[in-house]
Structure 1
């Protein structure tokens, strides 16, 4: 809608009002009571509200000329409806109309015509706070209904919205908010509180700015140009906050990979040491005896020797393990031959995973190692031995070095483990 204050004048001829001018001495008669003469039933078709001006006297007069012409003039303030297309807001132009029509008389009885010359005159130096009146056009807008055709006149006012106001109030603040949100790119990635607070603050401020813009406009079902602008700004601000989240996640992932890399390097360094050169002692706490193993190519060899306690528990007895053919020989004449077969040595999962990426840096003895341990201890004299495959018992470092653990016989119960 828009408001306008105008001086409205209309002129018509009523033959009944002719009078003698006495040789030109009487130019016209003036009346202030409009009820004393006939008047057209004109009304403003798109009026929402309006009023006459009565300060100090009623701003209205009627002049009657000797030939019967009547001039009616009145000062009116009107609020008129103006449907607007806001798709290009705030870079839009709007056309607002002022329509004047006959309320009851059809064109068969009453016809409105624009006066020749300049029927519409605009006050000079007219200034509007947010618009500029570019031009105005006069036209006819007769309407046809079931009761007949009614005469109508209209004035189209072309308004251009002032962009400078919106540049200062909307565009510059939005640009500043986007720039402030991008300042977080120059902050250290470890400054989490600073970057998060900066991103959230700019995002909330941008949302408040968008709400304030739409609050001053009528609700419409289509997208406006200002909606596209604020949407892009919101996307940039939200993108800056999302970028920090991704960078923080990537940074933590890099730190984790570096830590794992150092761990693998330490593991490689530890596996590069010859097990035979290190002092070796059994783990008394776990009650385990240990045999050092090593692999060459795809062949598993047992180096050194170890003695398994006799099944019957006889003191001084034992079973000798020879490294070449991996057979178990009994040192007593009454002992039976037992076979100890070792198929592979367990390699920790982290070594297996690292080997796929850095196979060239892993010692050759790990490349042919399978991913499991299979130990078969034959049963003799109703008793047996169990080799522990528990991860807690098989330490990653010791297994990677080629150490095999097997437990001492604890009970006379027959056991077999694989």
Structure 2
């Protein structure tokens, strides 16, 4: 059934039914320039069936794709996904749509329902929608050689598996993957239109927490139970901006650690001052840790880099509080011992002469007894005796005689250990 075809500037209506074309002629006869005749376009959809792909039963259809990333509105660590708005463009050749001439025609988006289009879908997409303001954001353009350009504006939320073990010093790799839902490699092939230059927009994105480091496109094959499906992959790396976290978390936690060291320069007798500093820094550090955990979901099992650093800071702050407790306890014990010693000094001075002579006798007798017992002592008893003496020497070596030495050593050891731990922390998480 032949059809005479005329294009009108005002109206062009396609109706496809059972492979036949009924093209309504609706032209403005008042202006001859408003109507244009296109030779050969009358049989454009003669025998066209939108339910069958081009070259049905023959070689696969090649879909050339390009896309623009308009925006990435959010990247969620808790849900492990990102939301992006993209302009998706697909090109393929349909021999059934060849017409004479060298022009191209943009059709109304509603005519997509009467043409065959590939069933492309976004892999790992959680939810997607096509923009419809003020009309459906779709484009169909036909070229004389049968090439079809099909463009869409889509907003999609795609899953992105993130490794948060180095958060916030991390770099995440996310993917945007597209493939056919029903056509396998025997029916349809995907390719990038211009290789890595087929993707635009990523280099101009400005994100709140991330910077796009690198991106590249590739073609892979998805092996499913129903067949092998060609897949287009856009992979991009997102490096987190650490300056915010340095000012928000790292600097305050470091200052709290330094504040806890102030107590080392306060005398042991100032119990309220030192206790207040220790307790305040511990509580402030606890609040800072809780606030940091609220920024990332609590449901994941990651031990993040920021958790490690806050744990280190909390350990040093708590250690400073424990140091004061130990030093104060030893000082109080020594003070009580000195008081007892002073009370007995007067009594001891009265009987000093008799006691001295008596001790000499006891010492000589003890030496004689030890020599006599040593000759008769069993080997096991000798070993026990030697071990006890060594243990007493070891205990006396680690016994702190002067509590002031604790304060002196703490002033040096705490800052030195904190610097060493920080060095290992930053080297590990930034370079490994």
Question: TM-score scaled by structure 2?
Answer: 0.61
Pair 1:202–1:130, CA change in 2 (3 A): same
- Specify which of 177, 181, 204 is matched with residue 103 of structure 1: 181
> 1:95 Cα shift?
0.5
CA–CA distance in structure 1, aligned partners of residues 328 and 176 of structure 2 = 61
Question: Judging changes above 3 Å, is the alpha-carbon distance between structure 1 residues 55 and 259 closer, same or farther for their aligned structure 2 residues?
Answer: same
CA drift at 1:270: 3.4
Offset from partner CA, 1:67-111 (integer Å, 9 cap, x none): 111111111111111111122222211110001011111111111
CA distance in 1, matches of 2:193, 2:265: 69
Distance 2:161 2:290 in 1: 22
Where 2:273 maps in the other structure, the secondary structure is helix
Partner of 1:76 in structure 2? 154
Structure 2 residue aligned with 1:198? 277
Aligned residue for 1:217?
296
In 2, Cα distance between the equivalents of 1:365 and 1:144?
A: 98
Pairing 1:387-402 to 2, within 5 Å after superposition: none
Tell me what 1:189 maps to: 268
Q: What CA distance in whole angstroms lies between the structure 1 residues aligned with 2:358 and 2:106? A: 127
Count, aligned residues = 280
* Distance in 1 separating the partners of 2:252 and 2:282: 13
Which residue number in structure 2 is paired with residue 161 of structure 1?
A: 240
Residue 363 (1) aligns with residue 350 (2) = no
TM-score by length of 1: 0.63
Counterpart of 1:267 (choices 347, 352, 356) is: 347
Q: Distance in 2 between matches of 1:135 and 1:122?
A: 12
Instruction: Look up the SS of the partner of 1:112 in the other structure.
Output: strand
Partner in structure 2 of residue 32 of structure 1: 109
Unaligned runs of 5+ in 1: 274-294, 296-361, 371-418
Structure 1 distance, partners of 2:140, 2:156, is 21
- Deviation, structure 1 residue 30: 1.8
| Correspondence for 1:233 | 313
1:191-212: CA deviation from partner (whole Å, max 9, x where unpaired): 2222222212211221222222
Residues 127 and 367 of structure 1: is their aligned pair in 2 closer, same or farther, counting only changes over 3 Å?
same
In the other structure, the counterpart of 2:82 is 2
For residue 87 of structure 1, give the secondary structure of its aligned residue in structure 2. Answer: helix
CA distance in 1, matches of 2:148, 2:321: 73
Unaligned runs of 5+ in 2: 1-80, 364-432
Q: In 2 relative to 1, CA 114–226 (structure 1 residues): closer, same or farther, beyond 3 Å?
A: same
How far apart are 1:224 and its partner, in Å?
2.5
1:322-348: CA deviation from partner (whole Å, max 9, x where unpaired)? xxxxxxxxxxxxxxxxxxxxxxxxxxx
> Would you identify which runs of 4 or more consecutive aligned residues in structure 1 move more than 6 Å?
none
Partners of 1:144 and 1:157 in 2: how far apart?
23
The one-character-per-residue Cα deviations of 1:351-399 (angstroms, maximum 9, x if unpaired) are: xxxxxxxxxxx532465589xxxxxxxxxxxxxxxxxxxxxxxxxxxxx
Task: Compute the displacement of 1:114 (Å).
Answer: 0.9
How far did 1:128 drift?
A: 0.8
Q: Which has the higher contact order (CA 8 A, sep 6+)?
A: 2
> Residue in 2 aligned with 1:298?
none
**Structural RMSD (CA):** 2.1
Matches within 5 A, 1:16-31: 16-21=96-101, 24=102, 26-31=103-108
What is the alpha-carbon distance in structure 2 between the residues aligned to residue 193 and residue 267 of structure 1?
A: 38
The SS at the match of 1:201 is helix
Q: Distance in 2 between matches of 1:65 and 1:226?
A: 56
- Aligned ranges 1:48-87 → 2 under 5 Å: 48-87=126-165
The structure having more radius of gyration, on CA atoms, is 1
Aligned counterparts of 2:99 and 2:358: Cα–Cα separation in 1:
133
d(CA) in 2 for partners of 1:187 and 1:211?
30
Cα distance in 2 for partners of 1:89, 1:9 equals 35
Correspondence for 1:12: 92
Of 313, 326, 337, the residue aligned with 1:246 is: 326
**Residue 142 (structure 2) pairs with residue 149 (structure 1):** no
Is structure 2 residue 207 aligned with structure 1 residue 207? no
Q: 2:191 is paired with a residue of what secondary structure?
A: coil
Structure 2 contact 203–212 (Cα < 8 Å) conserved:
no
What is the match of residue 138 of structure 1? 217
Give, in whole Å, the separation in 1 of the partners of 2:359 and 2:190. 106
Checking the alignment, whether the CA contact within 8 Å between 1:29 and 1:65 is kept in structure 2 is no
TM-superposition CA deviations, 1:273-293 (whole Å, max 9, x none): 9xxxxxxxxxxxxxxxxxxxx
Q: Return the alpha-carbon distance in structure 2 between the equivalents of residues 127 and 134 of structure 1.
A: 12
Cα distance in 2 between the residues matched to 1:192 and 1:244: 9
Return closer, same or farther for 1:123/1:221 CA change in 2, 3 Å cut-off: closer
* Local SS of the residue matching 2:166: coil
